[in-house]
Amino acid sequence: MQVLFQVVRQNANSEPHIQTYSLDVEPGNTILDCLNQIKWEQDGTLAFRKNCRNTICGSCGMRINGRSALACKENVGSELARLQQISAANPDSGKSLEDIPTITIAPMGNMPVIKDLVVDMKSFWDNLDAVDPYVSTQSRHIPEREFLQTPEERDRLNQTGNCILCGACYSECNARQVNPDFVGPHALAKAYRMVADSRDDQTEARIENYGTGTQGVWGCTRCYFCNSVCPMEVAPMDQIGKIKQEVLDRQDDQTNRSVRHRKVLIDLVKDGGWIDERRFGLKVVGNSFRDLRGLSSLGPLGFRMIAKGKFPLGFEPSEGAAQVRSLINAVQQAEANQTESSTN
Ligand code: FES
């Protein structure tokens, strides 16, 4: 079948442009097969990374039809089916597959382009390094042969251990896009792998480090993009959530604003079924009148809201607040039971 490939091409420090290639391909051809065909038969100047061709090395990350993926994993048939689904769900998008089907390929996001589909991954590797992604056994007696783990202890590492560091999650990370300090989902998924590793002896220091500022877990905006694009089902956002829970179990709401934000949010939802925004600001930003600078920072926003008639003067608990409360209590009880059984 005839398929058009629109490739976003670019040299470092120049404006991107689209180059279109027409190929005769089979639905089972991978996107990487197609790029190879372009490079070998039509245009040897096209630059992209590849190595294993088998979803192992993580080299061939790129944006395929708008989302980051591995070119050796996705194929023409599944991509066209996906486009068909998107156009059926958005009939007004103006996109139609009735003409020659078209697949768009672009470099990954959140990293500068070196050439065409090759991006500079320096920040990706530096941020991975920042979480100290190695098992630390400095203070431990080094065993004669190896550190033994039970099958259960090893099982806890399976999901995060599947990461092939392809960069897809980092490319789609919305938090990373607006916060250059945030280390990114790949690094925090690896961080959880270290926290969960029974051989590591730096757990407490790690949890404190990952829970400080917005470079760590509190920088995550929970947009789910990393989970949705990860080709290895590492679910980085879920791993970030597990570290957050470890932080919350150890720190009270006076530790910092991020911890307070999470705890106050749960308390208020438990109270009224949804958030009383007036109390939320005062408790989180103003730290219940302890943080005068935080309180004064709320002033301009409060005045603007009053001027526009948007300041909520009262608060009505939501319908079913009791049900919400009992759900939260049940989850908290289940978590407490789980913690108790894992420490016994
Ligand atoms: Fe190795 Fe695609 S070439 S993951």
Mean pLDDT (the chain, rounded): 92
Q: Give residue 93's pLDDT band: very low, low, confident or very high (50, 70, 90).
A: low
pTM exceeding the 0.75 threshold for the entire prediction:
yes
Mean pLDDT in residue range 302-319: 90
Is 203 exposed, middle or buried, given 0-12, 13-18 or 19+ CB atoms closer than 10 A? middle
Mutation probe of ligand 1 site: the residue of 70, 105, 121 with most atoms within 8 A of C-beta:
70
Q: Cβ(167) to ligand 1 under 6 A?
A: no
102-134: pLDDT as tens digits: 999 999 999 999 999 999 999 999 999 999 999
Burial of 270 (0-12, 13-18, 19+ CB in 10 A): middle
Helix (H) or strand (E) holding 243: helix 236-250
pLDDT at 177 over 60: yes
- Of 6-10, 45-49, 326-330, 340-344, the range with the lowest mean pLDDT is 340-344
DSSP letter at 74 equals -
Show the domains of the chain with their CATH numbers: 2-115 (3.10.20.30), 121-250 (1.10.1060.10), 257-343 (no CATH)
For residue 204, give Cα distances in angstroms to 133, 183, 199, 279, 326.
15, 19, 13, 32, 32
Lowest mean pLDDT among 11-25, 40-54, 198-212, 244-258: 244-258
Residue 64's H or E segment, with its range, is strand 61-64
Cα-to-centroid distance, 141 and ligand 1 (Å): 39
Tokens of 40: 């070998």
pLDDT above 60: residue 300: yes
Q: Answer yes or no: is the C-beta of 306 below 6 A from any ligand 1 atom.
A: no
30 ligand 1 Cβ < 6 A: no
* Closest atom, ligand 1, to C-alpha of 49: 3
Report d(CA 50, CA 274) in Å as an integer: 49
pLDDT beyond 90 at 339: no
Q: Residue 86 — pLDDT band, cuts 50, 70, 90?
A: confident
Ligand 1 atom with the shortest distance to the CA of 61 = 2
- Position 58 scores a pLDDT of 97
- The answer, yes or no, to whether residue 153 has pLDDT greater than 80, is yes
**What is residue 90's predicted lDDT score, i.e. its pLDDT?**
78
Please report the pLDDT score of residue 215 as a whole number: 93
